[in-house]
Amino acid sequence: MHFIEHSTIMKTNKEDEYILINLLNGLSDILSEEDLNLIKLWTKSDDIEFNNKYETDLYNALTKRKYMMKNREEENRYKESQLETLRRNYEKRKKNIKDLGIVLTYDCNFGCSYCFESNVNNHDKDILTEDMIDRSESLFPNIESILLYGGEPLLEQNMDIIKYIIEKYPDKEYRIITNGYGIDKYIDILKKIKVKWLQVTLDGGKETHDKSRFLKDNRLGTFDKLISNIDLAIKNNIRIKIRMNISKANYQECLELRDNLKKEYPDNKLLIFELQPIFQLDDDSKNFLEPILYSVDEYSDNTINNMSSNLHRSLINGKPIGLKYHSCPAETSARLIDSSGDIYSCLVSVGNRDSRVGTYYPEFRYFENSLLNRNITTIEQCKNCKFALLCGGGCGNSRNINNEGFRGECSSFSRKLLQYSNALGYETIEEVIL
């Protein structure tokens, strides 16, 4: 019999415990030292004999959960069938555009020190036009929700086009990513629409926040104004999502601020949080921060949270970890339009014209070499990688698309796989090679 190559066995810090994961169907199990020794013995034999019921039951369980197969050809056929199922779902998602992001302008009144749009300078003060909204409505007729984004969407000069968008989509659910400074100017408009949340960023207490998030023209701090506007929104029954960009320098202060705000606004339906390491941090900093943030309910790395909870369900209840044909919605159903007539599929990429997935105005077309065609069958490193079906290729925007084709973010998954299990209390030490 053949023990599948698409598997991984990780030794934990407990003397007699290993985690076994089937990388073709997402099932996982806890092995003992005795189990592992039997598996090693069986992989070296074509004629397996069972000495007792324990060995028979173990073998049958491994076969049923497809860790053991007849040969490598059967394993390859099983992989292809899994890929085909995922591919069909992937193609459906690419056509099912239910949410539209609208980048109203790249202009902003803040001069944040870590802004990933800081290099956007072409037409950065242009505002989306009514013709552009009309065009997008015809191209994406089944929209159920809208994200307003920028630059800064709630600048006073954007008010007319926002009113036009609301006229076009009066009954849709709105999410708005704003620096929060203009909430008071827009409060009468916001009260009249269905707002899922306004996202406002606070990066710690007043002194820390004001060092990184200040007004562009005079570098005045913004903390006091944002706290006032958050209070105004909540008093008008508008939900606020407070985003915190975490670094080694501010994580303790952010956690303390989160706790204080929860006490001040105990109705958690109107105040929610999203915590995330600053996008540009290096791997060492993220390695330090991520384990700390695992214990925080509002940690926004859904990949890790979902994988950790899926791994937990798999180990405890036998449920499979979800397989991935691609990394995230940026490679399928996400669409953002901007004031230059371009289409993007990821918030982090807007304004970087090399990361466009197409154009919608005046001409509509999708580019062949874009995130919308990036998946584990088009990324060269993924084609023969045993982890591909759980990894999905990693973040496409962390690996720029170039003339060499799509690239995988390979280091991320190997690092996070250990973190998934560590977050559940299984302190994994190393991968075991059979």
Domain boundaries, the chain: 1-70, 104-315
35: enclosing H helix or E strand = helix 33-43
How many C-beta atoms lie closer than 10 Å to residue 191's C-beta? 12
CB 289 within 8 A of CB 277: yes
pLDDT value of residue 114: 79
State the pLDDT at residue 321.
Answer: 84
Res 302: pLDDT = 47
The answer to whether 4 touches 77, Cβ cutoff 8 Å, is no
Distance CA(286)–CA(291), nearest Å, equals 9
- b (16+ CB within 10 A) / e for 46-78: eeeeeeeeebeebbeebeebbbbbeeeeebeeb
What does each C-alpha distance from 243 to 264, 302, 382 come to in angstroms? 17, 14, 33
Report which residue type is found at 413.
F
Sequence-ordered strand ranges (E) for 293-434: 335-337, 342-344, 358-359, 365-366, 428-432
**Could you give the C-alpha distances from 28 to 32, 40, 312, 414, in angstroms and in order?**
13, 18, 9, 17
299: helix, strand or coil: strand
Distances (CA, A) of 172 to 142, 147, 175, 193: 11, 10, 10, 8
CA distance 42 to 34: 12
Question: Is 223:202 a contact under the CB 8 Å cutoff?
Answer: yes
The pLDDT, as a whole number, for residue 178 is 98
Cβ atoms of 173 and 100 closer than 8 Å: no
**Residue positions counted in the chain:** 434
pLDDT of residue 230: 98
The pLDDT value given to residue 420: 62
Q: Give the span between the Cα atoms of 230 and 239, in whole angstroms.
A: 9
Q: How far apart are CA 351 and CA 71, in angstroms?
A: 50
Q: How far apart are the first and last CA of the chain?
A: 14
Compute the distance between CA of residue 381 and CA of residue 407 in angstroms, rounded to an integer: 7
The CATH classification of domain 104-315, taken from the options 3.40.50.300, 3.40.50.970, 3.20.20.70, 3.40.50.850? 3.20.20.70
Residues of the chain falling short of pLDDT 50: 300-305
pLDDT of residue 218: 85
For 237, counting Cβ atoms within 10 Å of its Cβ (0-12 exposed, 13-18 middle, 19+ buried), the class is: exposed
Give, in order, the Cα–Cα distances in Å from 161 to each of 104, 320, 376.
Answer: 8, 46, 39
Distance CA 173, CA 175 (A): 7
